A and B are shown apart, each in its own frame.
Chain A
Amino acid sequence: MADHYLKTELDHQMSTDPEMWSFVQQASLDGVWYWDLEQPDQEWMSPEFWRLFGIDPATKSHNPAEWQDIINPDDLKIALVNFELHCADPAHPYDQLVRYRHTDGSTIWVRCRGRAIRNDKGEAIRMFGVHNEITAVRRRHETGRELDAANSELRDFAYAVSHDLKSPVNTVGMLLDELHEGEGARLSDDGHHLLSLAGESIGRMQVLIDELLRYTSIIGEVMEFVPVSLNELAQGLLHELDAELSAANVVIDLQPLPQVIAHEEQMRLLLSNLLTNAIKFSRLDCENRISIAGQTTGDNRVLISITDQGVGVGPEDFERIFTIFTRLHRPEQIAGTGLGLALCRRIVMNHGGSITLTSDPGVGSCFTVELPQSQT
């Protein structure tokens, strides 16, 4: 098939108009070099190359010793090996990332590519090459890797600590039970009171550790996205929460929920936390209605809302309640660890979505989860 006429025309322009090449060089390259392999001490370097390292091009001669002086010695070895291999076999690319030393002492990353120009016998007689400076990309890459490593270390630490705390807390819980079982008959009322306070505190600590384990276990979890029926999840959860619902005088209005592509266990945790949260903050003096609704928007996002008629939250706390360990009530008033909504936000973040709250104190709250469905 013949080339497009514009391609033919462009090729002609490129070979006849020097301005074309100079445009390509300025627009896309940070350095150009041309090396005479028959006189290897002759290598022309473009002035832009030297400026990358804060060097005045006028102070440099066109001799490869000049750049070999400021390149990282290990990277030079790799470049020379690639050079030998490329000269012997055109199929072996001359292409590597190398580090140069800037005059200010910092490291400049450069991608260096080249191709040999050969004589009739196939011997490499010249080498033409280009540079692209990629220090910024490299730094982002390294920062990202360091962050990942720090995150995973933090997760492992939190998991190990909560796991190790679990065992002595269990032991103390069992000791208190044994004390009650064996010595209960001999204890005074005051003794019983103290023992039950100790039991409650240990119980809270067990819940806290469980939640902490749950929270840390979903950080950096490998995300397997599958189709999840939110309807089935919600129905299952409501069944499990039956006792809590009637104790808190709550009626549920479950509207049809869409199917989402998501991590199933995390969706279960999300709905479960939002539901128990709504139940927990229901009002004691009247019947409470909790509505669960969902819809798919035109731009392929799923919105799920959980609306309650509970005690509500002031606007100053809309953002704050999603922060880890933030609680608005003392444990004697309403039980909680300050991890539930932080877990919800973490799950939604894992799915690239968002969670928001609107609320009127005394009227109720509405949590809205938005999940993008681009994975489909």
Chain B
Amino acid sequence: MTYEVYKFIPNDENPAIRNLMVVDDNKVDQMIYRRIIKRSGLVGQVLQFLSAEEALIHLRRVDRASVDAILLDINMPRMDGFEFLAAATDELGDSFTRMLVVMLTTSLDPGDEARASQFSVVKEYLNKPLVQNHLLQIAEYLARNATKGTHTEG
């Protein structure tokens, strides 16, 4: 297994965020994200990846469930967040996720934010650490854009 899946809310209960991917190389951070995500009561299931390469391999699979949102760390060894963004949009277009949220390590990365904003799939930025309110923002974005109605399979 190249990633971990945790199911919190069954699909028939219509969670605000059905399928969330988190890409971050820090294991402890991932554990804390998982607890925050579970506690939020907003997320159906979370897929956690410790490397961007593994996340990319998963996105290539034709039999995967559709992804509502991806939380993406920037500073990762080997393939960093930007390289992941470039590779994913190159290969898969913009539709591999409904929204992508870039997690910035510092509030002082205007350069990083500008760089990330060049990808249309990037809809939000959040400054680490992840808090409940960030998940609420993601849920609200998805609700606002739900009318486009691609959200049928599960």
Which A residues form the contact surface with B (CB < 8 A)? 163, 166-167, 170-171, 173-175, 177-178, 181-182, 209-210, 213-214, 217
Contact = CB atoms under 8 A, between A and B. Distances in A.
Contact of B28 (A175, A177, A217): A175
26 contacts: A163-B105, A163-B106, A166-B105, A166-B106, A167-B105, A167-B128, A170-B29, A170-B105, A170-B129, A171-B26, A174-B29, A174-B32, A174-B130, A175-B28, A175-B32, A177-B129, A178-B32, A178-B36, A181-B35, A181-B39, A182-B35, A209-B106, A210-B106, A210-B107, A210-B108, A217-B108
A300 B70 CA distance: 53
Given A175-B28, A178-B32, A170 B128 contact: yes
B39 A171 contact: no
A222 to B, nearest CB: 12
A182 B75 CA distance: 29
A182 B31 CA distance: 14
Closest 10 CB pairs of A and B: A174-B32, A174-B129, A170-B129, A170-B128, A213-B108, A171-B28, A166-B105, A171-B29, A178-B32, A166-B106
A214 B35 CA distance: 32
Nearest to B24: A167
A354 B18 CA distance: 57
A101 to B, nearest CB: 48
A182 B128 CA distance: 20
Contacts, number: 40
Contacts of B128: 167, 170
Interface in B78-116: 105-108
B32 A171 contact: yes
A202 to B, nearest CB: 11
Contacts of B108: 210, 213-214, 217
B32 to A, nearest CB: 5
Given A167-B128, A170-B105, A210-B106, 7 more contacts: A163-B105, A163-B106, A166-B106, A174-B29, A174-B32, A213-B106, A217-B108
Interface in B13-31: 26, 28-29
A342 to B, nearest CB: 16
Interface residues of B, number: 15
Contacts of A209: 106
Nearest to A172: B28
Contacts of B32: 171, 174-175, 178
B126 to A, nearest CB: 12
Contacts of B26: 167, 171
A170 B105 CA distance: 9
Contacts of B106: 163, 166, 209-210, 213
A209 B39 CA distance: 29
Contacts of B130: 174
Contacts of A170: 29, 105, 128-129
Interface in B104-154: 105-108, 128-130
A237 to B, nearest CB: 17
Nearest to B107: A210
Interface in B24-61: 26, 28-29, 32, 35-36, 39
A217 B108 CA distance: 9
Interface string B59-83: 0000000000000000100000000
A173 B105 contact: no
B134 to A, nearest CB: 12
A167 B29 CA distance: 9
Nearest to B131: A177
Most buried by B among A163, A171, A178, A210: A171
Nearest to A164: B75
Contact of B129 (A173, A182, A210): A173
B83 to A, nearest CB: 18
A167 B77 CA distance: 14
Contact of B75 (A167, A175, A181): A167
